[in-house]
Amino acid sequence: MAMLVVVTENVPPRLRGRLAVWLLEIRAGVYIGDVSKRIREMIWEQVNALAEEGNVAMAWSSNHESGFEFQTYGENRRIPVDYDGLRLVQFLPQNPK
């Protein structure tokens, strides 16, 4: 079992309901729980199937150097990058208005 955190933005209520079955919603769109790898992978399948145009970040504890891993879904200014085996987050420039 590992601690899991899922942060959602602009996702359909159906996905939020599915996440609430397995995780505790501590703030609007922020879910936490202690789940197995199998459940974490099932949750990510639900994200891919139901998130539509929203975006999701999912992080969980692991035995990597940083102590956690993460993956993202959808468009966001923050994108994950691999830097010498370490996962970091890069900011894309803002679109001019």
Domains of the chain and any CATH numbers: 2-91 (3.30.70.240)
Helix/strand number for the chain, H first, E second? 2, 7
- Do residues 42 and 17 make contact, with C-beta atoms less than 8 angstroms apart? no
Tokens linked to 47 = 């994200």
pLDDT, one tens digit for every residue, the chain (97 residues): 899 999 999 999 999 999 999 999 999 999 999 999 999 999 999 999 999 999 999 999 999 888 899 999 998 888 888 888 788 888 888 776 6
User: What pTM value is reported for the model?
Assistant: 0.88
pLDDT at 96: 60
Helix axes 37-50, 13-22, angle to 10 degrees: 170
Q: Which amino acid is at 4?
A: L
pLDDT at 97: 62
Q: Which amino acid is at 95?
A: N
Location of structure tokens 């996962």 = 87
